[in-house]
Every structure is written in structure tokens, then in C-alpha cells.
A and B are shown apart, each in its own frame.
Chain A
Amino acid sequence: MAIKTVLVKELKILVRDRRLFAIIIFQPILLTLVFGYAFSGEIKNVRIAVVDDSNSEISNALISALNYGESFDIEHFLATKSEGLELIKRGYVDAMLVIPKSFEGDLAKGRAKIEVYTDESKSSVSVAVINEIRTIAHSFSTKNFGGIEVEQNFVFSTKTRLIDFVAPALIGVVTLMIGLILSASSLAREKEEQTLELSLKALKSRDIVLGKFFAITAIVTFDTLIVMFLTHTLFGIEIRGSVLLLVMAQFLFLAGSIGIGLTISAFSATQLQGIQGAMLVGLISIFLSGFFYPLESMPEGARIVAFFIPLTYANTAFREIMIKGSGIEIVYPQLGVLTLYTILSLLISTKVLRKVVGGGIR
């Protein structure tokens, strides 16, 4: 009850504070759009490889039809399917088209079949390629009085698009920034407006902190949904792994970040100081965490620093769960580090906060 009272009050205040409300709404949208478009390629000039086992006039005609528009660049003519699979896995081509030996004869009988292989992690490319090939195949078969069935196959590759790398990290970044800013400013604002002692007289400090915690969690969840919605609709990002596991990882990271935010607020006299402190810690974390480049491609020194940034682990966990569909058996080291981070930061913040809120009588 007391926690709910604080929660409702916090939400009202946060939503009515124009500065904070702008941050809550626009930060996730801007981050997603800026980084999303910066790191995503257009679905134009998709590189494809072709294996033409039919090697007939009619198959050549189909290939030229594909090559005609701007959509596809046929970069390789290959002898075997396995060569093409390898090229996809290495990221040299985005898709492979396989025309079987029996294509010419089957087309006349109206049951011709072609196979398309795409990189399964590039879902948006896959969808575009298959649609485009279906359209071309349809008009081609009408012209040639036959029927072509397009069979879609996925290739599981290790190479992923940059957006696949960046999108899950956006959740980490938004969780960190919003979590830090809201928690740092919230307590500092109450200090600045001198309402902290007043509510401490009426409420247990535990209820105040928990009420704020849940209010921030609600808002960060809302922001995460914004990021997920945008990355899904614009860049075709989907959650492959367990949603529960993702929520767990995010909650751990959020709790830790709120702890840091509360610690910052303990040292801030005003709301503005709190926000500035949160921004500083947040930005440093983002730059050092390997948000922009994979850890593997970072220089040695930067990689060592990144190991001490919790965001690094959160982002790795989010990527594993969202993009690769990894389970707890893969991400347990990250979850372990995040748990440790949360425990430490909450311990520190309780200790520091105790000094600020003191022992007010009820």
C-alpha cells in the first residue's frame, strides 16, 4: 500500500516533468533510429550466388530476369550448393538460388521448383529476397506457361548484420541511461524540493526506495517496448531466445543501474546535478562497453576496460538471448556478473543512502 502510494506519486511527477518526460519518450526513439539506420544496410543490390544445375535456355532466362532489376547483384555462379552455403556463412553473399536439373521439364508440367537459401539472421533481407524472387518467378512462369514453386531455406551463419549486433545493445543502453537518470534525479529532486524529510516522516525509507524502484522499472519497461517495437518493425529484429530469460537479465541490470543512480543522487544537491552525474556515468559506460564494436575487434587496452563495465555483460547477454536464441547454459557467466553487479551496487547505495535519509522517526 505504502509502496503503491509512492509508485503512483512518482509516475505522476515523472510524467509531468517536461524535461524528464522528453527524455523518457525521445531517448529510446532517437537512439534506435540513429543507431539503427547508421548500422543497417538497405535492401537493394542484394548479393546473390546462383547454382544452375539445369543450365538450360529457360533457366538462363530466369537468371537474366533476376539480374534485370536493381534488387539483385548476381556475384557468383557456382557449381555446387555447398560452396554457396559457405559464402553465405562467411557473409560474402546474402542469398543463393538453386535451380535443379529437372527445371526445364518440370516447368512445362507446371511443377517446377527452385530453392532459395538465405542467411537466417538477416531476417529482413530474407523476407525481401524471397518476396522478390517469388514475384519474378511468378511473372516468368506465366510468360512461359508453367508454374514455379519457390522453396525457402535458411542458412544459419555466424556472421550477423551490424544491426543485429546493435539492436540488443540498444536495450542495454536505454535501460542504463533511463534507469540512471530517473533514479539519480528522483531522490535529488526530493532533496532539492525538501520533500524527502517530509515523506520520510510518514513512510519507511524502504517503502520510499521500493516505490521509486518500481516506478522506474515501469518506465524502463515501457522504453524497452519502444525499442523492441522500433527495431522489430524497422529492422526485423526478433527475440529468438526465451523472453523470460531476457526479462531476467534486463531486470538484474536495471536493478544494478538504479543502485548506481541512487548513489549518484546521494551526492547530488539538485535534480540537475543528479541528471548530469547520471549522463556522465552512462556515457562513459556506453563508450567503454563495446557498444559500437564487438569486443573481439577492440584493441587490447580497451577490451580490458570493457571487462569492468557492467553494460558489456548486459549487452552480450541481450545479444545471445535475442539474436542467437541462446539459453541460460550460454549466458550464465553474464548473468552471474550482472547479479554480482546488482548486489554490490544495491549494497553501496543502501549504505550511502542511509547517510542521506538518516534515521527519521515515524
Chain B
Amino acid sequence: MEKIVIENLTVSYGKFIAVKNLNMKVKSGEILGLLGPNGSGKTTTIKAILGFVPYVGKVLVNAEKIGWMPQNAPLYLNLTVEENLRFFAEAYGVKNIEEKIEDLLKLIELQKFRDRLVRNLSGGMKQRCAFACAMVHEPDLLILDEPTAGVDPKLRKSFWEYFESLNREGKTILVTTHYMDEAEKCQRIVLMRDGEILAEGSPDEIKKIALRGEIVKLKIDHAEYALKRLREMAWNVSIEGDELLILVDDARIRIPEIIRLLNDFKVLKIEVVKESLENAFLKLIGG
């Protein structure tokens, strides 16, 4: 069951094509991270999902209620935290408004600042308030556009704790971010560049795609001989000091194979190189 199905989506602003023939799905109950450099079409895709930009193609949303937290946390600056919450609660026709407001103020830990004008809030507080406004009608699908931009590490952590606990409750989350540690927490990632999808999959799958495989690091005696033997057998190997770096399609299958081939060598250490998502991301974007 998909919450969002996007088929052949194209969005253009005049001559500029922001999103090109995009195909994407958001599965029910997952956290999907939409990644990509600035201007890659993430926000435009979200606006198309919400119906705020004219587009060509098909966008299907199977959610009853959508909670949307736009970029830069737009709020009514001359209303207080509580008044903002109340406005959106009333606008969405929420039933038990008072209770809901209390719950949310508690969740975002802004009870003390409930009567402060949003104009006078710090960036992090504003971000929290915007998140609460998006949650006010208990949406089953959350669309969060850079919810943690400009937020300190501690608050980023607690934001993701909210997201993950909401996800455990069964809520589907579509989130964009530039932070790779956040992307690692997504069950699936869609990586965009210039309005197109570059790669798609779990964080580990993205890394594999980026490297076109995995790298096995081998610490071995007489590394030069081992290198020669592996090269003769057409393995993709390079040497760094006394360590061999072997590019393989699937480490789990290839490691036993390597050990068998080099059974007359003394293997000191063998491990799969942990590629960071950031490197993978840069490789994909740059390539």
C-alpha cells in the first residue's frame, strides 16, 4: 500500500524544468528521505504533491490528513505560539482543541513560551512551533521540508526522536534533509539531482550504488604478491601501504572467495570498508 504514488511528474517554471519525468513512491509506514543538493527539485516535488504548483503527470495521495511543515518554518509572526496552534487547529476543524494544544506544547516543550509572539522566538523554537502546527490535526502522512535546517544538534536529535516514535505509531513520513546522519535514519532514500532521481534505496543500497559495489580491505603479508595474483585473475585491486583494497560487487559472497584464492598467504585482517553516506552522496552527485 502506497501513501504517495508519483508517475511521470514534470514541473516547469517558465523555461526552467524543476522536476523531470519523476517516478517515485512513498510506502505506507516508512520514513522516506528525499535528498539532493539545493535546487535539485525536492521542494518542487513536495509542492506538486500538495497541489501548489501546476504539473504534468500523475500524483496520487492516499492519505486522509497530511501534515506539512514547509521550509523555513513559516508561521504568523504577530501571533503567539498558542495562537498559531489555535488558528491551525480551528482551521482544520480539530475537535478537542484545548487538550490538543496542551499536548503539543508539552511535546515541543514550549509551555513556558506559549504567550510569546512567534516573531520573538529563536530559530529552534520557531521550528518546533511549526512542527507542532503541522501535527495539530493528527495527520497520517507527514511531509517535512528540511525540518532541522539551522537547528542545534541536541534539538535535531530530539526532532528525530519525535519522527521515529511517530513512525513507530504507524505514521508515514516524507522528509528532506541535508544531514547525512539523518538520512541514515531513513528506511529509504531517494536521491535527486537536477530534477531527476539519481539513486533510490536503503542507505546501504545507496552506498553500494555509489561505489558500484563494496570495498574489501585486506591486511596481508607480502601484499605485492597478493596484488599481482589477484590482478592476474582480473580483480579490481589497488594497494595502499601494506593493505589491499578490493572492489567487489557483493562482499558477503566475495570475501570467502578471496580467502580461498589467497590461502597460502597470511591474512592479518579482512574487513568491509565502511563508506560514509556523505561520500556516497558526493560521488553520486559529482558523477
Q: A198-B68, A201-B66 are in contact. Are A359 and B51 (CB under 8 A)?
A: yes
Q: Which residue of A lies closest to B134 (CB)?
A: A198
Contact string against A for B residues 84-101, beta-carbon threshold 8 Å, 1 for contact and 0 otherwise: 000110111100000000
Q: For B93, list chain A residues within 8 Å (CB).
A: 1-2
Q: Which of A1-20 contact B (CB under 8 A)?
A: 1-2, 5-6, 9, 12-13, 16-17
Q: Interface stretch among B3-11, B70-78, B256-264?
A: B70-78
A9 touches B79 (CB 8 A): yes
B79 touches A358 (CB 8 A): no
Q: How far is the CB of A138 from chain B (nearest CB, A)?
A: 59
Q: Which of B50, B76, B91, B133 contacts A193 (CB 8 A)?
A: B76
Q: Could you say which of A6, A17, A359, A361 has the most chain B C-beta atoms within 10 Å of its C-beta?
A: A361
B74 touches A2 (CB 8 A): no
A5 touches B87 (CB 8 A): yes
**Is A82 positioned at the interface, with any CB of B under 8 Å from its CB?**
no
B74 touches A198 (CB 8 A): yes
Q: For B137, list chain A residues within 8 Å (CB).
A: 202
Contact string against B for A residues 184-223, beta-carbon threshold 8 Å, 1 for contact and 0 otherwise: 0000000001110111111100000000000000000000
B92 touches A361 (CB 8 A): no
Q: Which residue of B lies closest to A192 (CB)?
A: B74
- Determine the distance from Cα of A361 to Cα of B70 in the docked complex, in whole angstroms: 15
Q: A2-B91, A5-B91, A361-B50 are in contact. Are A193 and B74 (CB under 8 A)?
A: yes
**Is A294 positioned at the interface, with any CB of B under 8 Å from its CB?**
no
**Is B17 positioned at the interface, with any CB of A under 8 Å from its CB?**
no
Q: Could you say which of A1, A13, A197, A202 has the most chain B C-beta atoms within 10 Å of its C-beta?
A: A202
Q: A1-B90, A202-B88, A358-B51 are in contact. Are A13 and B68 (CB under 8 A)?
A: no
Q: A193-B77, A202-B92 are in contact. Are A358 and B54 (CB under 8 A)?
A: yes
Q: How far is the CB of A228 from chain B (nearest CB, A)?
A: 29
Q: Which residue of B lies closest to A200 (CB)?
A: B52
Give me the interface of A with B, judged by CB distance under 8 Å.
Answer: 1-2, 5-6, 9, 12-13, 16-17, 193-195, 197-203, 358-361
Give me the interface of B with A, judged by CB distance under 8 Å.
Answer: 50-54, 61, 66, 68, 70, 72, 74-79, 83, 87-88, 90-93, 117, 133, 137
